Amino acid sequence: MDKFLIKGPNRLNGSISIGGAKNAVLPLMTACIIHPGKYILNNVPILRDTITMAKLLEMVGAQVEIYKNSFLINTKNCNKPYAPYDLVSTMRASFYVLGPFMSRFKEAQVSLPGGCAWGPRPVDFHIKALEKMGAQINLTDGYIKASGRLKGTNIIFDKSSVGATGNIMMAAVNAKGTTKIENSALEPEIDCLMNFLNTMGANINRDSNNNIIIKGESKFRDNFEFDVIPDRIEAGTFMIATAMCKGKVKLNNVNPNHLSIVIDKLIQSGSNIVINNNSLTIESKNRPKPVDIDTLIYPGYPTDLQAQWMALMSIANGSSKIIDNIYTDRFTHIAELERLGANISLNSNIATINGVKSLKGAQVMSTDIRASASLVIAGLFADKDTEISRIYHIDRGYENIENKFSKLGAKITRIKK
């Protein structure tokens, strides 16, 4: 298993390009199954997760060719609506095949994802919504087996869910009649999926209350190109890293509108940020001021940047609080940040971080994608050597993170094992 060796402290300077959004491209890839065709996705990040999704599509009968950051996906011969435990358990987003399978084949056999590193992550909203659309569903042997011609209906999610909104949108484009999703997710990745499906020929829009209205039985196109939106979580990670290590960094290929709350929080914490259309520059000169966050659905502060914010607050000039309202158990990074010298206490889903002046390198372990990112950031700031093991987690969500940080002047090397 590869490791990162970081020699700190580092200051970050220069410019890099942010890749396409992992959480946008994964459902786009499964959406290609809906209608037999040849689709080109551009600005695709080459990640463990996008490669895993390519493998899953190939198991279903698709062909996936990769040219640099473009995926050419041919779904003409897909014939097997099945997603096995081996793949779904390594990447929960594999569950995004459920909606497309029901759309195209009117049947699906998909492994239930189970828990994840930081606790339970149920899929009950997906299942109840499909049942309401008329699917017959059996949960046996760890699999969901679904079948039936779907009918449009009114779906009201108890909580706004990115995955359930995406899956039901993809299921509904071929259903009989109109589906309305109330309390739908507002994340930019969902709007990206909506744009992709509409480009494919679907008829989806949001009403004035942000409910998603999907007219079924679409007539689809079978050949087009589509650009994936920039990854707001990757961009936020590099911004927080700059705030922590100090320096001046320009990020190209970003959508600043998707980062509003993160920009606000970083400005409150003392960074200067200059925004252009598709780029932004962050400059940080001083020790960060303490700023509280609580994670919320979009446009609130994203849970996927909670661990990175905690790394930043661990060296703030005072105490701050972080509340994770989306995943109340998502705190495995605390014990690892403490190994580097952070002072953090946790009460239920509320972490109190007492900022310290310095961190000192140590051996630490990645536990999930974003927790790993927080360790990289903290390791870049810390004095002396930090060794991060199990970095396959970070490879799931960040393309060549060490090359990008090296380009900004950081001393970070991958040790291959």
List interacting residues with ligand UD1 (CB under 6 A).
23, 26, 92-93, 121-126, 159, 161-164, 189, 303-304, 326-327
Shortest CB 286 distance to ligand UD1, Å? 31
Beta carbon nearer to ligand UD1, 329 or 338: 329
Beta carbon nearer to ligand UD1, 157 or 381: 157
Beta carbon nearer to ligand UD1, 246 or 265: 265
Buried/exposed 157-185: b ≥16 CB within 10 Å, e otherwise: beebbbbbbbbbbbbbbbbeebbbbebbb
Secondary structure of residue 392 in the 3-state scheme: helix
Phi, psi of 49 (to 5 degrees): -70, -35
Closest residue to ligand UD1, judged by C-beta, is 163
Shortest CB 319 distance to ligand UD1, Å? 26
> Are 340 and 315 within 8 A, CB to CB?
no
Check whether the bond before 299 is cis (ω within 30° of 0): yes
Parallel, antiparallel, or unpaired for β 293-295 and 319-324?
parallel
Phi, psi of 206 (to 5 degrees): -100, 140
Long-range contacts of 123-127 (CB under 8 A, 24+ apart): 123/95, 123/163, 123/164, 125/157, 125/158, 125/159, 125/161, 125/164, 126/95, 126/98, 126/99, 126/163, 126/164, 126/167, 126/168
Residue with tokens 């310095």: 358
Beta carbon nearer to ligand UD1, 125 or 405: 125
> Are 141 and 85 within 8 A, CB to CB?
no
Beta carbon nearer to ligand UD1, 210 or 345: 210
> Are 200 and 35 within 8 A, CB to CB?
yes
State both tokens at 397: 């969500």
Shortest CB 330 distance to ligand UD1, Å? 8
Shortest CB 212 distance to ligand UD1, Å? 14
Shortest CB 195 distance to ligand UD1, Å? 16
Specify the length of the chain in residues.
Answer: 417
Shortest CB 351 distance to ligand UD1, Å? 17
Beta carbon nearer to ligand UD1, 304 or 402: 304
* Catalytic residue (one of 78, 116, 192, 245): 116
H/E/C letters for each residue in 115-164? Answer: CECCECCCCHHHHHHHHHCCCEEEEECCEEEEECCCECCEEECCCCCHHH
Beta carbon nearer to ligand UD1, 125 or 381: 125
Phi-psi region of 218 (alpha: psi -120 to 50; beta: other; left: phi over 0): beta
Q: In the sheet that 3-8 helps form, which strands lie side by side, from edge to edge?
A: 363-365, 384-389, 3-8, 412-415
State both tokens at 361: 């390198």
116 is catalytic: yes
> Are 195 and 166 within 8 A, CB to CB?
no
Shortest CB 192 distance to ligand UD1, Å? 11
Parallel, antiparallel, or unpaired for β 384-389 and 363-365?
parallel
Shortest CB 112 distance to ligand UD1, Å? 11
Beta carbon nearer to ligand UD1, 83 or 410: 83
Catalytic residues: 116
